[in-house]
Structure 1
Amino acid sequence: MSFEYKQFKDAKLDDPFFDSLRADYREFEDWFGRKSENWAYIFEQDGSKAIDGFLYMKIEDGVVDDVVPPLPAKKRLKVGTFKINAHGTKLGERFVKKIFDHAVDGGVAEIYVTIFPKHAGLVNLLNRYGFEKAAIKTTVNGVEDVLIRSMHWRDNLDRDKNYPLIKMDGDFYQVGIYPDYHTRLLPDSILNNEDVEIVKDISHANSINKIYIAAMKGLMSLTPGDKIVIYRTGDGKGPAEYRAVATSICVVEAVRTLDSFGSVDAFLNYARPHSVFSDAELSGFYKSRRYPFIISFTYNIALRHRLTRHHLIEKIGINRDAYPGFLRLTPQQFKQIVIDGGVNESLIVD
């Protein structure tokens, strides 16, 4: 399957995928034609190239006066078209992550989307990540709900509803992942010390919630809400000093052991939805007990600048003799990694 950023004119309008949009919006085909030079994220099946997902967004700055009540003047990201064919692969999360990526990159105060309430699955997904009904929009096509999501931290909400923002509380750690697993788990965080351009960021497993399976005993000291810097270990193609890099910022959701699952099926049901591993691989992990610890976390930020082990030691102050696979960071070290990693300052809440 492919997930690409394309112009409207490169999408096949006669694809059955668009039938429900034609049914919902009588002006859809005319609108689509006028947008031929605009860009959207399009997810296609390999081989047939049938479309399974489409996401179009644009930046607006001003009052939104075609809804009731009107939305006051703000810089917003409007999600113009968002549709997926859900099939149990977390495709929806993939697109939600792209929405947040663009909101951060555009420096907007809010995101909004209009949606018919009948699309319950998509509404529930958006609600999970903090979108709330704030208005309605009435047209010849019917009445749509207007869902709003603030890009500012809101206290007393669960972490998903504030995603991808990171609050500087809890504890901070560096957690190592071998290169082969890192590529599969966090494809946004490729080994590249240059800036990551959002529109060219094509991934194979871009879900927000992840499962990490490992054997480092220190992992059991993690608690929900802790922040972890993902550290891609050396790949043997050169000195680890310059090949091992910090790549990502994540937030712990839960910590469990294999022994907490009563059966392999219980483990599979827990791990499968957010794991990049096959059922056979997961079953093998369960039976061998080689990797007994399971960490659930949200994939919040891919660093724009990957920080080498050399940088972490010389500029961040990490002890050269410390085990890099799992080590505790001070809040100051974590904050400096964020700064040196080129993270948008709006994502970090003191």
Structure 2
Amino acid sequence: MLYVEIYTRKWLGFNIYREVLGGYCMGGKFKWTKFENCDINDPFFNSLKQDYPEFPQWFMKKSKNGESALVCEDEKGLCAFLYLKEEKEPIELIDQILPSKKRIKIGTLKLDERIQGQRLGEGAVGVALWRWQESEAEEIYLTVFPKHTLLIELIEKFGFTYMGKNKRGENIYLKSKKKINYSDPFKAFPFLNPYFEKAGYIPIYDYYHDTLFPYSELYNTKQEVEEKAAANGITKVFIGFPTSNLHHKVGEPVIIYRIDTKAEKNKQYKSAATSFCTLTNLTIIKSDNIPNIDLDKFIKLAGNKTVYSPEELEQFFYEKKNIVLIEMVYNGFFGKGENITFKELNEKGLFNDYPYNIVLSREQFISILEMGGKDVSNIIINKT
């Protein structure tokens, strides 16, 4: 069957480009690592020792218990550290006590100053929230001193709510599955807004897809996926050149469709839906050769988010008839062995047009999630 091969040529009307800059830890990578394999004398831990005098004793206890953390290390040493734990105790604040219930605590989340401009923090928080989503815990929380303003901005972006202070003077930030904030996709992450009415596809060629979404296709274990996700971040930014108007809207979910270009036979079994995202921004840079913003603003908007130089962006600006900048938050993936082939989608009437023209109903989108082995009740929650 040549359906996929023929349509692939036509899909070039909307070219998807590479992943945004950042997300890699100064030549290092994230890895789930035993406490005992981390050097507590690394200068990375100095600020934690200053904030928490008992930190060395706590660290040694975790080491003796064989516990692990998600860490990133480069040629200078540790540059990121995430530790999670399950709890069921009450949380004591100065003016109230939060009753005991199943919670995930982000026990430690630290990023070194030298990587503050990268998206490692976003990726680490994303991993923590994915773990929480998969757990039976109703809430996830962390404690943070008010002086750590960048960390507070990050967790507030992801929908954590200030609950008060504890006796140590730390702020308590908490997120509950019963009170998800659907005002924007980041605050709702990793859950999808239950009030969407339609969805769509975004097709990406394999050589772009596997750079942008490496954990959607090739990795077998949850830990491998989390390590890649933390390093790559969960915000995806693209520059595209559509040939017609898109039906996609900010806040709507989309299915990421990987177009296989390597298979010579049975392409219908190779190209597949791998992931699902939520659109967070859709900026029309240029439409029918008429710019909506000037060149300088385009370069400022896109220049620090793509691998392209200002010169390349300028070339696009003057040569392309239509230019769109799309941003998405990466809600989840189906995973190796669960990706849904073109053949399966087509047989169920879910892929019968150019991908950008396909409007998926709410029921069809949910059907695709189920075909990918996802528990929809744990992805779309809290609809009243």
Tell me the TM-score range normalised by the shorter chain: 0.7 to 0.9
Matching of residue 202 in structure 1 with residue 227 in structure 2? yes
Pair 290,108 (structure 1): closer, same or farther in 2 beyond 3 Å: farther
**In the alignment, which residue of structure 2 is the partner of 1:299?**
330
Matched-pair contact (CA < 8 Å) for 1:55–1:82: yes
In structure 2, what is the Cα distance between the partners aligned to 1:273 and 1:29? 39
Once residues 207 and 317 of structure 1 are traced to their aligned partners in structure 2, the CA distance between those partners, rounded to angstroms, is 33
Alpha carbons 1:191, 1:306 under 8 Å: kept: no
* Paired residue type of 2:281: A
CA contact (8 A) 2:243 2:322 kept: no
Range with bigger deviation, 265-274 or 73-82: 265-274
Q: Residue 223 in 1 paired to residue 262 in 2? A: no
Structure 1 residue 290, shift from structure 2 partner: 7.8
Structure 1 residues 10 and 66: alpha-carbon distance in aligned structure 2, compared to 1, 3 A threshold: farther
CA deviation after TM superposition for structure 1 residue 284, in Å? 5.5
User: Whose RCO is larger (CA < 8 A, sep 6+)?
Assistant: 2
| SS of aligned partner of 1:203 | helix
C-alpha deviations, 1:109-134, integer Å up to 9, x for none? 11110100000000011111111111
Structure 1's 78 and 244: CA in aligned 2 closer, same or farther, altered over 3 A? same
Structure 1 Cα separation of the partners of residues 197 and 329 of structure 2: 15
Cα distance 1:170–1:218, how it changes in 2: closer, same or farther (>3 A)?
A: farther
Residue 170 of structure 1: how far off its partner (Å)? 3.5
CA 1:67–1:102: 2 relative to 1, 3 Å: farther
Q: 1:18 aligns with which of 11, 35, 45?
A: 45
After superposition, the Cα gap between the structure-2 partners of 1:285 and 1:77, relative to the gap in structure 1 and judged at 3 Å, is farther
Partner of 1:323: 354
Tell me which amino acid in the other structure corresponds to 1:69: Q
Describe the shift of the 1:108–1:282 C-alpha distance in structure 2 as closer, same or farther (beyond 3 A): farther
CA distance in 2, matches of 1:153, 1:347: 14
- Listed one character per residue, the Cα deviations across residues 45-76 of structure 1 (whole Å, up to 9, x for unaligned) are 2xx15111100001112423477522212211
Tell me what 1:184 maps to: 211
- SS for the counterpart of 2:345 is helix
Pair 1:308 & 2:341 matched = yes
Task: Quote the residue 1:279 is aligned against.
Answer: 309
The farther-off stretch of 278-287 and 163-172 is: 278-287
The RMSD of aligned alpha carbons is: 2.4
SS at the partner of 2:32? strand
Which residue of 148, 152, 155 maps to 1:123?
152
Shift of 1:156: 6.3
Gaps of 5+ in 2: 1-27, 287-291
Q: Is the 8 A contact 1:5 1:200 kept in 2?
A: no
Q: How does 1:34-183 map to 2 (within 5 A)?
A: 34-36=61-63, 37-45=66-74, 48=75, 50-65=77-92, 68-85=95-112, 86-139=115-168, 143-154=169-180, 157-168=183-194, 169-183=196-210
Give the letter for the 2:226 counterpart: D
Q: What amino acid does structure 2 have at the position aligned with 1:133?
A: Y
- How many Å apart are 1:211 and its aligned residue? 1.1
The one-letter code sitting in structure 2 at the alignment partner of 1:53 is A
**Equivalent-residue separation in structure 2 for 1:322 and 1:301 (angstroms):** 25
Whichever residue aligns with residue 236 of structure 1, its letter is: K
Query: SS of the residue aligned with 2:374?
Result: coil
Aligned residues: 339
What secondary structure, in the 3-state scheme, does the structure 1 residue paired with 2:246 have?
helix
Q: 1:326 to 1:185 in 2, by over 3 A?
A: farther
CA distance, structure 1, for counterparts of residue 94 and residue 368 of structure 2: 42
Aligned-residue identity in percent? 29
Q: 1:216 offset after TM fit, Å?
A: 3.2
Give distance in 1, aligned partners of 2:225 and 2:247: 37
Q: Is the 8 A contact 1:231 1:246 kept in 2?
A: yes
Cα distance in 2 for partners of 1:200, 1:49 equals 25
Cα pair 2:71 2:78 within 8 Å, conserved: yes
Q: Is the 8 A contact 1:219 1:326 kept in 2?
A: no
Shift of residue 332, structure 1, vs aligned partner: 1.5
- Deviation string 1:122-156 (CA, Å, 9 cap, x unpaired) is 001111111111132224xxx11111111235366
Give the residue type in structure 1 aligned to 2:362: P
Counterpart for residue 261 of structure 1: 293
Name the TM-score, length of structure 2 as normaliser: 0.81
Contact 1:219–1:293 (Cα < 8 Å) also in 2: no
CA distance in 1, matches of 2:99, 2:354: 52
Determine helix, strand or coil for the equivalent of 2:101. Answer: strand
**What TM-score do you get using the length of structure 1 for normalisation?**
0.88
On the 8 A contact 1:170/1:225 being kept in 2, the answer is no
